[in-house]
């Protein structure tokens, strides 16, 4: 099943909640997502059975990789039950989760036992003050590092670590992050600060490009590129020439990879989005709760994907110029990263 730009559907990211226990300014700025913000009521969230039906229909169209996101997915009660259900879906060979790590240590063993294969943990700095500035919360780097150790210990490995790099906030921490995970199995992925959503006050001047990041790291530890493991990989991989492991960079701003994008995103309330930077989704909850069978759901997914022509990152400059005339982009905390 190919979209209008001949891209297959291979990956589905499933948001299980729009709630989070942090208020990272680049994702959920506190001045917007404060105490008065109204999150989705429980009855509007897809049930685990409904999520599984969507995943099963997507798998029938070639989806092999499913990633659970949020918000913070570990805030969703009994998440291991959903993982057990998804792990039994024919065709799904890779079941992963992205988390901020605050609740990971206590749940890691149950998640692994339920069928989760890998986790990606967000960690934007090793300095406590800088991490708190990036997360707008009382986060201890030690707590996240402990969670990473626990996850690795139970077999959720290799753990990937996402570091969003923002100029003037945590860009001075890039080399320290690389140093911390050299000679270890974890893989750090340095992410350019992106204009996801419409509330984070994104500015191009705050973007630290992938080439700058690689220059900082490569000046201390020479790097060489690695071939992608599979088509559509979002991170460009590099290894240390001295054999100390690998890193990745995600360069959606400086060098967009829209041409290989094979991902769709399902929001917690059942909207299917065909781009991280989308302005509207496609309602699947109404279909699910209206009595649609498996065949009808598969046909709707086929209709959505084959009509897809998204390439926002490649057209970013023009999109910024016309932003005042367009509705807001969907927020990352709602759609999942």
CATH number assigned to the domain comprising residue 89: 3.20.20.70
Report pLDDT for 187.
97
Report pLDDT for 317.
56
127 located within any domain: yes
4 located within any domain: no
Joined tokens for residue 135: 């997360």
241 located within any domain: yes
Domain count, the chain: 1
Handedness of CA 105, 102, 134, 248 (dihedral sign): positive
Report pLDDT for 46.
98
85 located within any domain: yes
Domain ranges, residue 200: 11-335
Report pLDDT for 104.
98
pLDDT along the chain (337 residues), means of 10: 96 97 92 93 97 98 97 97 98 97 98 98 97 94 98 97 97 98 97 87 92 98 94 90 97 88 96 92 97 96 96 70 63 83
Joined tokens for residue 45: 């969230």
Share of residues in the chain with pLDDT > 90 (%): 81
Sheet of 65-69, strand order: 223-225, 236-240, 246-250, 187-192, 160-165, 118-122, 94-99, 65-69, 11-15, 263-266, 271-273, 282-283
Joined tokens for residue 43: 């009855």
| Burial class of residue 107, CB neighbours in 10 A (0-12, 13-18, 19+) | buried
47 located within any domain: yes
3 located within any domain: no
217 located within any domain: yes
Question: Distances from the Cα of 184 to the Cαs of 42, 188, 210, 225, in angstroms?
Answer: 40, 10, 22, 18
- Encode pLDDT of 55-77 as tens digits: 999 999 999 999 999 999 999 99
5 located within any domain: no
Report pLDDT for 324.
53
- The pTM of this model reads 0.94
Report pLDDT for 326.
63
- Encode pLDDT of 140-195 as tens digits: 999 999 999 999 999 999 999 999 999 999 999 999 999 999 999 999 999 999 88
d(CA 140, CA 212): 27
């Amino acid at each position: 099943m190919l979209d209008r730009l001949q891209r297959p559907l291979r990956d589905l990211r499933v948001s299980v909640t729009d709630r989070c226990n942090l208020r990272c300014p680049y994702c959920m700025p506190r001045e917007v997502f404060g105490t008065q913000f109204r999150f989705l009521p429980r009855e509007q969230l897809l049930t685990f059975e409904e999520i599984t039906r969507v995943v099963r229909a997507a798998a029938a169209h070639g989806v092999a990789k499913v990633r659970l996101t949020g918000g913070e997915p570990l805030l969703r009660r009994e998440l291991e039950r959903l993982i057990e259900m998804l792990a039994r879906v024919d065709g799904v060979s890779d079941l992963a989760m992205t988390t901020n790590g605050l609740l990971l240590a206590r749940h890691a063993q149950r998640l692994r036992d339920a069928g989760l294969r890998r986790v990606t943990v967000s960690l934007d700095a090793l300095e406590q003050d800088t991490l708190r500035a990036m997360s707008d919360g009382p986060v201890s780097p030690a707590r996240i590092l402990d969670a990473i150790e626990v996850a690795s210990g139970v077999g959720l490995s290799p753990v990937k670590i996402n570091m969003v790099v923002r100029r003037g906030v945590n860009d001075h921490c890039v080399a320290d992050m690389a140093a911390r995970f050299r000679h270890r199995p974890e893989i750090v992925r340095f992410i350019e600060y992106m204009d996801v959503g419409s509330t984070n006050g994104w500015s191009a001047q705050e973007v630290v490009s992938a080439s700058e990041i690689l220059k900082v790291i490569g000046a201390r530890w020479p790097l060489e590129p690695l071939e992608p493991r599979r088509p559509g990989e979002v991170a460009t991989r590099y290894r240390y020439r001295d054999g100390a492991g690998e890193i990745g960079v995600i360069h959606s701003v400086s060098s967009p990879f829209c041409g290989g994008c094979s991902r769709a995103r399902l929001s917690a309330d059942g909207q299917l989005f065909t781009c991280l930077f989308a302005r509207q989704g496609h309602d699947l909850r109404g279909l699910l709760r209206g009595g649609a069978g498996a065949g009808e759901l598969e046909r709707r997914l086929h209709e959505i994907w084959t009509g897809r022509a998204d390439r926002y990152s490649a057209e970013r400059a023009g999109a910024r110029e016309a932003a005042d005339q367009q509705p807001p982009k969907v927020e990352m905390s709602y759609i999942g990263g």
